[in-house]
Amino acid sequence: MTGTIFDIKEFSLHDGPGARTTVFLKGCPLRCRWCHNPEGISPRPQLMVIESRCRHCGLCVQGCGHADCQPFHRCLHACPDHLVRVAGYEISAETLAEILLKNRDFFKTCNGGVTLSGGEPLMQPEFALELLQKLQGVHTAVETCGHARPEVFAAVIAAVDFVLLDMKLIDEQEHLAQTGVGNRLIVENFRQLKRSGKPYVIRTPLIPGITDTPDNLRGIQALIGDAPWEQLPYNTMAGAKYPQLGLTYALK
């Protein structure tokens, strides 16, 4: 089975226990106004161009015969400054597992493993589950927004050793306004996770004036109780990649 990913980052120290390799899967059901991985939102590969450094030489738009360029109507290889690229590519679970398992000994030394992130990895559940099956013997984790069918959520958390679950906004209407979806599925899946006995941590990005308000933080605290809770600082560089995708960052 193949899936679509947009990055593999080695030696990640913030995506679960120990030093890890994080695989970023394409596709997300949320549209968070502060998203710092906009290239992970669409499930399909996307053209990214650093227009701010472009010389406007025209080489990339002259046409070419490269098969990988044809879907984008732009040459991916002609830019002298390497400003044109594609975010996202298909890969089989078997091939990806082979790449990841090359670091098996390193994971054991550093008490680390592999984390599936995104995007939202539960948008590709069959691919994620096949990959996790092939990674048996390696510590695995999933970083998820929690907005997935309960049966999908249950299947994936059962297949990993550790879960990082986002809890952004406690108010249903505010969650809808800021992320494009309500939070009922997320709350339901959190309660399922708590009952499962699976080790986990809750994560809240502290977006100024949106998620970092006292009312929101008190509400999340009331829901999660004494669960481990990481409050993550706002990424001030979150908007940098939007122009490369032809998008506008919603926050200023």
Rounded to whole angstroms, how far apart are CA atoms 57 and 129? 45
Given this model, what pLDDT does residue 235 score? 87
For residue range 174-221, what is the model confidence (pLDDT) as tens digits?
Answer: 999 999 999 999 999 999 999 999 999 999 999 999 999 999 999 999
The reply to whether the predicted model has a pTM over 0.85 is yes
Angstrom CA distances, 19 to 11, 105, 128, 214, stand at 5, 12, 20, 33
- Return the structure tokens found at 140: 């695995």
118: nearest Cα among 195, 191, 23: 23
Q: What average pLDDT is seen over the chain?
A: 96
Q: Which residue has the tokens 């990806």?
A: 96
Judged against a pLDDT cut of 90, whether residue 236 lies above it is answered with no
φ, ψ of residue 33 in degrees (nearest 5): -65, -20
Given this model, what pLDDT does residue 129 score? 98
